[in-house]
A and B are shown apart, each in its own frame.
Chain A
Amino acid sequence: MSGGEGSDLEDYPSIRDTDSEDEESGSSENEGELNTSRNDGLAIDHGNEEESDSSGLHEAVEESDSSEDDEVAPRNTIGAVPLEWYRDEKHIGYDLTGKKIKKKEREDKLQSFLASADDSKNWRKFLDEYNDEEVEVTKEDMKTINRLLEGKAPHGDFDPYAPYVDWFKWDDSKHPLSNAPEPKRRFIPSKSESKLVKRLVLAIRKGLIKPTKDEEEEEESVYPLWGDDSNSTEKDGSHLSYIPAPKPKLPGYEESFNPPPEFIPTQEEIDAYQLMYEEDRPKFIPKRFTSMRSIPAYENAIKECFERCLDLYLCPRVRKKRINIDPESLKPKLPSRKDLKPYPVKCYLEYRGHKDTVTSVSTEASGQWIASGSSDGTVRIWEVETGRCLKLWEIGEAVTYVAWNPNPEYSVLAVSVGQDVLILNTGFGNEEVQKKTKELLSAERPTTPDDTATFVSWIQDETHEGTRLRHFKTVSSVEWHRRGDYFSTVVPADILFSVKISYMLSLSLPLSHITHSLFLHDPISHLLAFS
């Protein structure tokens, strides 16, 4: 087909040549027109003798036709039958002599694709299935097609607006084709048109029809929006504070296209990721590329951008104070042990003598003596400064508690042993003190029919020269009042006794919990118990 087109092109200039020759020899009256219409074959023809020229043209056309026929001369002669009939055959049809035309071998798709990728003209090629050959549309063909699509004449040389040359020669003819006079409407302006114009004018005046906007005007929409920053507009309080979105996290070493080798997980580690929960799995697995050229497009680029968008407009924003402190600063400051000096660092004195665990120690009010009770059943009194054992009571039962009377007027020690509380005379102090102490201890104990009597019984203890208070259950501790008038005992079986020595008055309180230690407050009415 392309060949045919070429021959066509060759043909036309030849016509023109002959024409131009004719022109020169032609009559002078058409010269002006001819100059203007140099490419219009038709117009040219009629400037000359009709017959010869038209025959010439005809010939030329015939020639071109025949040449086209020659070229296109259908190799295939099957006619307008559906091509499917030959799909499974090895031939596509028959040529003029009746021989089979064999199908050509097709290139496979890959090859044809590669060929097409290399060939820039590929888009112009197509396959003529009827003749089984590849046809290339030439540029000229494209032009023709484009013109046809635009509704123009197929040939670019054709000038649709060439001045009209009447082929009919009126000079000799006696009768015009139509003898009718020109109608009146050819001379008066159209009424309907004027109506339309009137309407448009009115609409334009009223502003109903606006001129179309230029696109360039819109382009001018960018202008310096912010003036100098000096004219700072203060924020009015009516709006809420704008919380800027947090900036995305900046990439670390692992996101590099060429990270340090220690950042790339080994194959085992990558496999181990599969065993993790989906949330725990690392989002990004570092990879190494040997050169920048080999980095592929990131497959999640759009998705990540979209997620960021969602975060920006869907996530509630709250201003939160980020505590950027060292966790160690949260701990309270404790004084260092060095600052607490002086404190004893060496063993200075040892009070030796007890054979079992010492359960309780009590200091005398003056600070000269210590009493200690041990589970080997002895109570000893030591001199603090020397460590000498001054007194020893063999009580026989494990001592649970010892307590000095804080009143310096009496020299009395309370010892709790099993169910008993022993009140012992230590034998220290001057005579006056001794006298008072003995008086106190030897005082007659009334056996009043009190409630307390059922709990406590007063017994004079001869062996230790003291008084024994027998409780109904084991006593765990004894505590003196600061003045030395009262003391209280704790019986873990939920009851607390308070005994007033001098007035021989005692009371008992039920306690909900087992009491461990006591404190007798100065006004007698208060008693603190700790459990």
Chain B
Amino acid sequence: MVKKKHYRPAGKKKEGNAARFVTRSQAVKQLQVNLPLFRKLCILKGIFPREPKKKVKGNHHTYYHLKDVSFIQHEPLLGKMRDIRAYEKKVKKAEAKKNRDRAIILRQRRSTYKLDKVILQRYPKFIDALRDLDDCLTMVHLFAALPAIEDRIDVKRIHNCRRMSHEWQAFISRTHKLRKVFVSVKGIYYQAEVKGQLITWLTPHPLQQVLTDDVDFNIMLNFLEFYEALLAFVNCHLYRSINVKYPPILDPRLEAFAAELYALSRYFDASSRSSVLDPQVSSLPGSSKVDESELRLAQLQYQLPANEPGALMGLVENVPGEDEEDNDTMMCKELFKDMKFFLNREVNRESLLFVIPAFGGIVSWKGDGAPFEEDDNSITHQIVDRPLQHELCEGRKYVQPQWVYDCVNAKKILPTRDYLAGRELPPHLSPFVDPKEEGYVPDYALKIEQWKASEILPLPDVGKEDLEDPQNFADLEKAKEAAKNDKKLKALQKEYFDGLKVELNGVPPSSSISKTDNQISAKATEDREESDPDYEQIAKDKEELELLTISKKKRGLYEAMKKGKKRKHDNVEVIKERKRKLKESQKSRDG
């Protein structure tokens, strides 16, 4: 029967999805803007398409909710953007008429817009902003590493990104909020915990970035525009929260040496001192503990030229601790306590300058503006990333940078033996992996766990042997079991097909089935341990029965879940297989 076409009277409004959702082109038409401007507004306002339950216009359209569209329509930015566009025409006109003076004047008076209201609207609470900060930080850090491109990326913006990324890092480092670091091929992942929010961001390696042509920089710049504003406000809020004046004034000399982070940490130090000195701003708890002489010392040191005071970083440690610091923060603060690091020329200075102070260490580097020199006797660790060439200094360890990151992730000072300069490094493991979910734990993770568990660090060789053998056995056993299961499955399959054949031939089914059943059970009992064959059989039967009784809707879900699990399991199996092969090849090489 043909369904009757729905008829809507002429005056009646649309209802349902047709009334609530519009396609993108409809939205653009309604707003009377062009597509790039619509995109920009969507990006700034954080408006995304939504999925209606019924797509009235077809599947290949993107749908926006009508409320979202009217949300843009009432945005003051929209009017401002229109004005700016009209103004640009004025400038163009002046230029076309060769009225240079007027064009210059007009350009000077160009109006700008601010995003503060939009940010407040999108993130009514500070926590909301922190929750969405991941992408913002990743992008700002990426642009901080990009070269300026003519007509596309302004130098000023890149400098701004660089500055703000350093401000953020300085805050994290100063308040010891960094939790995890992971050096990947894509860059360095950092994870910090600010106000209970885990914020993860990626910084590219400090190298010349590969520029590609297949990206639309306009879109990225729109995002960047918003992110820059957001990060500035977030930084401002965070700096205020620890009583530091926000746009920090940096030592121009240090800035020139590209050591902004260090400059920022010095700035922090100085400002916290001054706030302590200021009687009105004594909100910093425990400030009274710091005595006057120390204050004067610190102030003096702030005024001293940049490269002289080495003890200043040490003083940072003594800054009155905030009461609200949780256990984690305390632990992070204490990790590299009483350790002095020196970075060689070839290591990634920016990253280590960020990470080491974040975990309470003192750090210096080779180059101008460094707080202490290489020949300082109190240095405990020197970070080297190439085979040692010159003679070593007494009383310090020459380690590779991975040691610092691994220590940070393990929250424990690991033995430096494997990490000494020139050695082949142990694997660098991701701290973001949940071993339970992954289903596979690499050897080195187990080893670290063991170290963590035992307070006294064992000799690495002994630990290794102990660990590897059980793993091996377990693997072997598993492989055997798998082989067994395979065999059994094949037998079962054969039985089943035989049964089918018999049935087809016309023999009464009851007898043959019972026979095969018997055979199956017999086989199963043979394969399994002899002790309780009945129980195994029962379990198997039950499983089958349950599968039969599961409802159709749930069965699909169940099967999908099983499939996902199996895929994961297969991946783990592949890895284990590889490991086994590697071991074998190693053994054969040794033997």
Contacts and interface: CB of A to CB of B under 8 A. Distances in A.
Are A and B part of the same complex?
Answer: yes
Interface of A: 210, 212-213, 218-219, 221-226, 229, 232-233, 235, 238-240, 242-245, 247-248, 250-253, 255-266, 284, 286-287, 289-293, 295-306, 308-310, 312-318, 323, 327, 330-332, 334, 336-337, 357
B205 interface: yes
Contact of B237 (A224, A266, A301): A224
Contacts of B538: 337
B109 interface: yes
Contacts of B433: 250, 252-253
Contacts of B459: none
Contacts of A255: 182, 184-186, 430
Given A290-B425, A292-B400, A306-B219, A253 B430 contact: yes
Contacts of A244: 131-132
B412 interface: no
Contact of B186 (A233, A298, A314): A298
5 contacts: A256-B182, A256-B183, A296-B207, A302-B220, A314-B49
B569 to A, nearest CB: 13
A253 B429 contact: yes
Contacts of B329: none
Contact of B126 (A229, A251, A286, A299): A229
B204 A221 contact: no
B134 A301 contact: no
Interface stretch (B11-19, B364-372, B513-521, B542-550): B542-550
Nearest to B534: A337
Contacts of B214: 303
Contacts of B347: 292-293
Given A251-B432, A292-B348, A301 B204 contact: yes
Contacts of A332: 546, 549-551
B425 A291 contact: yes
B48 A315 contact: yes
A327 B186 contact: no
Nearest to A264: B578
A261 B426 CA distance: 10
Contacts of B142: 301-302, 305
A330 B558 contact: yes
A262 B187 contact: no
Contacts of A297: 204-205, 207-210
Given A256-B428, A292-B385, A292-B401, A248 B232 contact: no
B556 to A, nearest CB: 10
Nearest to A253: B430
A238 B70 CA distance: 11
Interface residues of B, number: 106
Given A251-B432, A255-B184, A302-B210, A222 B219 contact: no
A315 B575 CA distance: 34
Given A221-B116, A314-B49, 17 more contacts: A222-B232, A226-B125, A238-B67, A245-B132, A250-B433, A251-B182, A251-B184, A253-B442, A256-B185, A258-B402, A262-B578, A297-B208, A297-B209, A312-B223, A314-B48, A331-B547, A331-B558
Contact of A225 (B204, B236, B562): B236
Most buried by B among A239, A250, A263: A250
A233 B220 contact: no
Contacts of B116: 221, 223, 225
B1 interface: no
B200 interface: yes
Nearest to B246: A222
A344 to B, nearest CB: 15
Given A258-B425, A297-B210, A332-B549, A245 B135 contact: yes
B341 to A, nearest CB: 15
A318 B50 contact: yes
B430 to A, nearest CB: 5
A316 B114 contact: no
A253 B428 CA distance: 8
A215 to B, nearest CB: 10
Contacts of B487: none
B554 interface: yes
A223 B120 CA distance: 12
Contacts of B120: 225-226
Contacts of B438: 252-253
B68 interface: yes
A261 B505 CA distance: 56
Contacts of A235: 124
A295 B205 contact: yes
Interface string B179-210: 00011111101000000000010001101111
A259 B575 CA distance: 12
Contacts of A218: 112
A242 B47 CA distance: 9
B400 A256 contact: no
B233 interface: yes
B557 interface: yes
Count chain A CB atoms within 10 A of each CB in B46, B185, B547, B551 and give the residue with the most. B185
A357 B514 CA distance: 15
Contacts of B561: 327, 330
B558 A303 contact: no
A301 B432 contact: no
